[in-house]
A and B are shown apart, each in its own frame.
Chain A
Amino acid sequence: MGLRLNSRSLLIVSLVVAGLVFLAERLLEPAAGGALTITMALFLGLAEGAIVLMAGAEISDGHWHRQLLQSAGALLYIIPAAMLLFIVNLPQLSIYPWWEHQGVWFNHPFFIARNLIVMGLMFVVARLFVVKALRGDSAKNFWGVALIFLFVWHMTMIGIEWFMSIEKPWFSTLFGAFVMVSGFLAGICTCALIIFSWRSRTDKAAKLIQKSVGGLIFGFATFWAYFYFSQLIVIWYGNIPEETGYLVRRVGAHSPYHVLGWAIFIMIWMFPFLVLLSRKNKTRAWVTSALAIIILTGITTMFWLMLAPVVHVSIPLLAIEIGLMALLTASAVRSRETLLPPLAGPVPAEEHGHGHSPEAAGVH
Chain B
Amino acid sequence: MERLVYQSEHDFIHKLEELLKSGVKPEQIETRTPHPVHHAEEILKMKPSNVRLFVLLGGITGVATGYLFTSLTALDWTLYVGNKPLVGIPPYTVIAFELMVLFGGLSGFLGLLVTSRMPAVRTIASNDEFSDQFEIYVKKD
Q: Which A residues contact B (CB, under 8 angstroms)?
A: 229, 232-233, 236-237, 239, 354-358, 361-363
Give residues of chain B (1-18) contacting chain A, Cβ–Cβ below 8 Å.
8-10, 13-14, 17
Does the CB pair A356–B93 fall under 8 Å?
no
Q: Known: A358-B10, A362-B10, A363-B10. Is A239-B84 also a contact (CB below 8 A)?
A: yes
Chain A residues whose C-beta falls within 8 Å of the C-beta of B37 in the assembled complex? 361
Task: For A239, give its contact among B14, B82, B93, B94 (CB under 8 Å).
Answer: B82
Does the CB pair B38–A361 fall under 8 Å?
no
Chain B residues whose C-beta falls within 8 Å of the C-beta of A229 in the assembled complex? 90, 93
A356 to B41, CA, bound (A): 10
A29 to B82, CA, bound (A): 43
22 interchain pairs, CB-CB under 8 A: A229-B93, A232-B90, A233-B90, A233-B91, A233-B93, A236-B91, A237-B90, A239-B82, A239-B83, A354-B38, A355-B9, A356-B42, A357-B39, A358-B13, A358-B14, A358-B17, A361-B9, A361-B10, A361-B13, A361-B37, A362-B8, A362-B10
Task: For A356, give its contact among B38, B82, B88, B94 (CB under 8 Å).
Answer: B38
CB distance from B139 to the nearest CB of A (A): 24
A237 to B85, CA, bound (A): 11
Does the CB pair B94–A233 fall under 8 Å?
yes
CB distance from B88 to the nearest CB of A (A): 8
Q: Which 6 A-B pairs have the closest CB atoms?
A: A362-B10, A356-B39, A361-B10, A236-B90, A361-B9, A358-B13
A20 to B42, CA, bound (A): 54
Q: How large is the interface on B (under 10, 10 to 19, 20 to 34, 35 or more residues)?
A: 10 to 19
The dominant DSSP class at the B interface is: helix
Does the CB pair B90–A361 fall under 8 Å?
no
A236 to B13, CA, bound (A): 57
Chain B residues whose C-beta falls within 8 Å of the C-beta of A356 in the assembled complex? 38-39, 42
A233 to B84, CA, bound (A): 13
Contacts A229-B90, A356-B42, A363-B10 known; list 11 others, CB within 8 Å.
A232-B90, A233-B94, A236-B91, A237-B90, A239-B83, A354-B38, A354-B39, A358-B14, A358-B17, A361-B13, A361-B37
CB distance from B127 to the nearest CB of A (A): 29
CB distance from A161 to the nearest CB of B (A): 28
A232 to B93, CA, bound (A): 12
A253 to B95, CA, bound (A): 23
CB distance from A324 to the nearest CB of B (A): 39
CB distance from B99 to the nearest CB of A (A): 16
Chain A residues whose C-beta falls within 8 Å of the C-beta of B84 in the assembled complex? 239
Chain B residues whose C-beta falls within 8 Å of the C-beta of A355 in the assembled complex? 9, 39
Kindly name the residue among A236, A239, A361 whose own CB sees the greatest number of chain B CB atoms within 10 A. A361
**Least CB separation from A235: chain B residue:** B90
CB distance from B22 to the nearest CB of A (A): 16
A363 to B10, CA, bound (A): 8
Chain A residues whose C-beta falls within 8 Å of the C-beta of B94 in the assembled complex? 233
CB distance from B100 to the nearest CB of A (A): 13
**Least CB separation from A234: chain B residue:** B90
Give residues of chain B (36-92) contacting chain A, Cβ–Cβ below 8 Å.
37-39, 42, 82-84, 88, 90-91
A363 to B11, CA, bound (A): 11
**Least CB separation from B17: chain A residue:** A358
A232 to B88, CA, bound (A): 13
**Least CB separation from B9: chain A residue:** A361
Chain B residues whose C-beta falls within 8 Å of the C-beta of A239 in the assembled complex? 82-84
A306 to B82, CA, bound (A): 27
A356 to B36, CA, bound (A): 11
